[in-house]
């Protein structure tokens, strides 16, 4: 919502206002605030995604100040959030009778959402104070919200000389740079904002989002911690921390952060159940995890989202794979692909279960589709690892070699090629690639390894090779990337 700029620098004031409001409501009273306090309070709740509380504050505000424009604008924004475009459009038309700039900007924003860019531009051109900082900011956000960067840039440029160091305008620039993926410039803006207002959870959270986009996960976590010091009940930093810890492979801390976010009201019960089920999977409790996923699917009022539902079907398939119910796993992977035809992992894992079911032609078709949709080093590397698990060594070697051709320094690809050659008993090729590897089996250890392999049967050979691979490749790599 564009109006967020009016709240900049007022987090503590509004938090105190929210505390007074909530305390009064607990006592069965509705406090008297002026209409602009209720409007700001509504928007403050929306920014924290506490929509039910925002609606209550707005309803109380309108009951006291039924025709106040600021409150009606808030109502329009909430209607738009609920996709009730016709009601929002009718309300904006009534407000246009006042001819005020906020009403004009709201009407133009709605027209942009409806795809009527030409008419929106005409409406924006009728504002009385085109050089007002907040008008410039709100129109710029209206274009950014609709991914119209070129038009947003024009309005940003209108104010950049006059308002370059004004806090609300710097906040706009930070959001603009984030939206246009210029994350380092956005971080510079957030540093400037934090110098002005070091206790703003919004600024620290914005910086955390930028660090996440740059894969600087430790810095993202630090920024989230500063945001939570400023406002311990602000759930967005908890969600970002959870994602950062997950990216670092620290699933325990990620789970704790998701739990806190859920307790703050920052996640739906359905989303929390999904996270809980994945946590159970991480701990090997596949049957329990499957039952949680199944309960979500059987919820009468479950929200439908093809992307989320596809990942849930995929995870249910993974549970069945681990429980060795291969036919059921195949059906869930097929369901995941139907919901999201670009879910590469579903093709790869489906090929795995089809191999276990000895349906070799279908196996190759599934893997072929994965590479056709995503011919990247990562897909080829994943295919190499998966096909190796079921003994498709030629397929595995070819996949790793193609990944290396596309990206010579792809992590662990040389190590995996060396491992495949060892499994194929091609020792000279193994030694050649082992020398190239970052995490090599030490040369002085290799004779010992060969001696063990020469005395072992075929099944034991695989176990020995895997043990050496884990000890000298996977574990050192894991430690190096912590």
Identify the pLDDT of residue 3: 43
Comparing CA positions, the residue from 209, 280, 211, 194 lying closest to residue 239 is 209
Q: What would the mean pLDDT of 240-247 be, rounded to a whole number?
A: 96
Identify the pLDDT of residue 43: 84
Give per-residue burial for 113-127: e unless 16+ CB within 10 Å, then b: beeeeeebeebbeeb
CA distance 155 to 137: 8
Rounded (5°) CA angle 140-50-48: 50
pLDDT in tens, 7-44: 455 667 888 898 899 999 999 999 999 998 999 899 88
Contact yes or no for 449/468 (Cβ under 8 A): yes
Identify the pLDDT of residue 479: 62
Q: Please report, rounded to a whole number, the percentage of residues in the chain having pLDDT higher than 90.
A: 68
Identify the pLDDT of residue 106: 85
Q: What would the mean pLDDT of 44-69 be, rounded to a whole number?
A: 86
pLDDT in tens, 281-327: 999 999 999 999 999 999 887 878 899 999 999 999 999 999 999 99
pLDDT in tens, 201-230: 889 999 999 999 999 999 999 999 999 998
Q: What would the mean pLDDT of 135-153 be, rounded to a whole number?
A: 92
Can you read off the two tokens belonging to residue 465? 């090779």
88 vs 316, higher pLDDT: 316
pLDDT over 60 at 132, yes or no? yes
Identify the pLDDT of residue 10: 67
Identify the pLDDT of residue 9: 53
Identify the pLDDT of residue 97: 62
pLDDT over 60 at 5, yes or no? no
pLDDT over 60 at 474, yes or no? yes
Q: What would the mean pLDDT of 115-119 be, rounded to a whole number?
A: 91
CA distance 136 to 162: 11
Average pLDDT, the chain: 90
Q: Which residue has the tokens 């739990």?
A: 259
Range from 128-137, 285-294, 341-350 carrying the lowest mean pLDDT: 128-137
């Amino acid at each position: 919502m564009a109006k967020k700029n009016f709240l900049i620098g007022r987090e503590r004031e509004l938090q105190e206002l929210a505390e007074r409001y909530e305390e009064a409501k607990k006592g069965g009273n509705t406090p008297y605030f002026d209409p602009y306090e209720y409007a700001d309070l509504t928007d403050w709740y929306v920014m924290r995604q506490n929509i039910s509380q925002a609606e209550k504050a707005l309803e109380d505000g309108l009951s006291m100040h039924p025709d106040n424009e600021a409150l009606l604008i808030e109502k329009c924004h909430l209607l738009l959030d609920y996709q009730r475009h016709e009601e929002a459009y009718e309300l904006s038309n009534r407000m246009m009778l006042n001819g005020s700039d906020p009403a004009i900007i709201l009407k133009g924003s709605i027209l942009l959402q409806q795809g009527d860019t030409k008419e929106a531009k005409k409406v924006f051109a009728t504002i009385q104070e085109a050089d007002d900082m907040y008008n410039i900011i709100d129109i710029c956000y209206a274009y950014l919200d609709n991914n119209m960067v070129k038009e947003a840039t024009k309005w940003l440029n209108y104010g950049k000389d006059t308002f370059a160091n004004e806090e609300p305008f710097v906040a706009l620039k930070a959001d603009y740079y984030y939206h246009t993926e210029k994350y380092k410039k956005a971080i510079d803006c957030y540093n400037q904002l934090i110098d002005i207002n070091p206790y703003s959870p919004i600024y620290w959270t914005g910086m955390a989002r930028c660090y996440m986009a740059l894969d600087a996960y430790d810095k993202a976590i630090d920024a989230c911690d500063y945001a939570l010091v400023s406002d311990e009940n602000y759930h967005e930093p908890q969600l970002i921390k959870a994602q950062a810890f997950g990216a670092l492979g620290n699933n325990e801390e990620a789970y704790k952060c998701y739990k806190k976010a859920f307790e703050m009201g920052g996640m739906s019960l359905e989303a929390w159940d999904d996270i809980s089920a994945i946590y159970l999977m991480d701990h090997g409790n596949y049957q329990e995890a499957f039952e949680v996923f199944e309960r979500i699917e059987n919820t009468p009022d479950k929200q439908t989202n093809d992307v989320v539902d596809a990942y849930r079907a995929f995870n249910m398939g993974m549970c069945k794979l681990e429980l060795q119910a291969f036919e059921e796993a195949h059906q869930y992977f097929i369901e995941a692909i139907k919901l999201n035809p670009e879910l590469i992992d579903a093709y790869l894992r489906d090929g795995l279960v089809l191999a276990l079911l000895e349906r070799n032609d279908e196996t190759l078709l599934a893997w072929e589709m994965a590479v056709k949709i995503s011919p990247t080093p990562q897909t080829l590397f994943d295919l190499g690892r998966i096909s190796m698990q079921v003994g498709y060594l030629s397929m595995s070697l070819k996949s790793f070699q193609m990944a290396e051709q596309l990206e010579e320094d792809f992590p662990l690809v040389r190590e995996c090629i060396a491992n495949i050659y060892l499994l194929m008993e091609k020792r000279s090729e193994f030694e050649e690639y082992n020398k190239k590897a970052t995490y090599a089996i030490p040369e002085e250890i290799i004779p010992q390894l060969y001696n063990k392999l020469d005395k072992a049967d075929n099944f034991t050979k695989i176990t020995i090779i895997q043990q050496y691979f884990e000890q000298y490749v996977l574990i050192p790599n894991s430690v190096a990337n912590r």
